[in-house]
Amino acid sequence: MSASIDPNKAIDFLLKNAEKYATAKAQRVYLEEFRKSKKALLMNQCDEKTVNAREQFAYSHADYIGVIEGLRSAVEIEETLKWHQIAAQLRVEVWRSEQANNRGLERATR
C-alpha cells in the first residue's frame, strides 16, 4: 500500500491549497458578519414600528436571502477544502505508519 501513497503529493496539495482555504474561510467569516449588518440596514428601511415586524421584513427581503445563499456557498467551499486537507494529512500519517511498520519488519527479519 505504501507505493500508492506519496507523502510529497499530499504535502504539495496542502501547500497549494492553503491560500484557497484561507480565502474561503475569510469569505465565510465576512459573510457571517455582513449578514448582521444587512439585517440592520434592512430593518432601518422598514416603516413598521415593532421590532418583530422589522425583523420579518429584513429576514424575508431578497437582499438578505442573497447573503444567506452566498454564506451557504462559502461554507461549502471552505468545508470541501478543509476535508481535502484533512485527507491529505491522514495520507501522510498512513505513510508514516507504514514506514515505521516496514522498519520494524526489517529489524525482526535480521
Q: What is the pLDDT of residue 19?
A: 95
Q: What is the extent of the structural domain holding 46?
A: 7-108
The total number of structural domains in the chain stands at 1
Q: Which of 25, 28, 8, 6 is nearest to 16 (CA)?
A: 8
CATH classification at residue 25 = 1.10.287
Phi, psi angles (nearest 5°) of residue 6: -110, 105
- C-alpha 44/C-alpha 58 separation (Å) is 9
* pLDDT of 84 above 90: yes
Distances in whole angstroms, Cα of residue 46 to Cα of each of 34, 49, 81? 19, 8, 39
Q: What is the pLDDT of residue 67?
A: 97
pLDDT, tens digit (0-9, with 9 covering 90-100), for 20-77: 999 999 999 999 999 999 999 999 999 999 999 999 999 999 999 999 999 999 999 9
Looking at the domain assignment, is residue 2 inside a domain? no
81, 87, 91, 94 alpha-carbon torsion, rounded to 10° = 150
Looking at the domain assignment, is residue 25 inside a domain? yes
Looking at the domain assignment, is residue 40 inside a domain? yes
pLDDT, tens digit (0-9, with 9 covering 90-100), for 67-80: 999 999 999 999 99
Looking at the domain assignment, is residue 94 inside a domain? yes
* pLDDT of 107 above 90: no
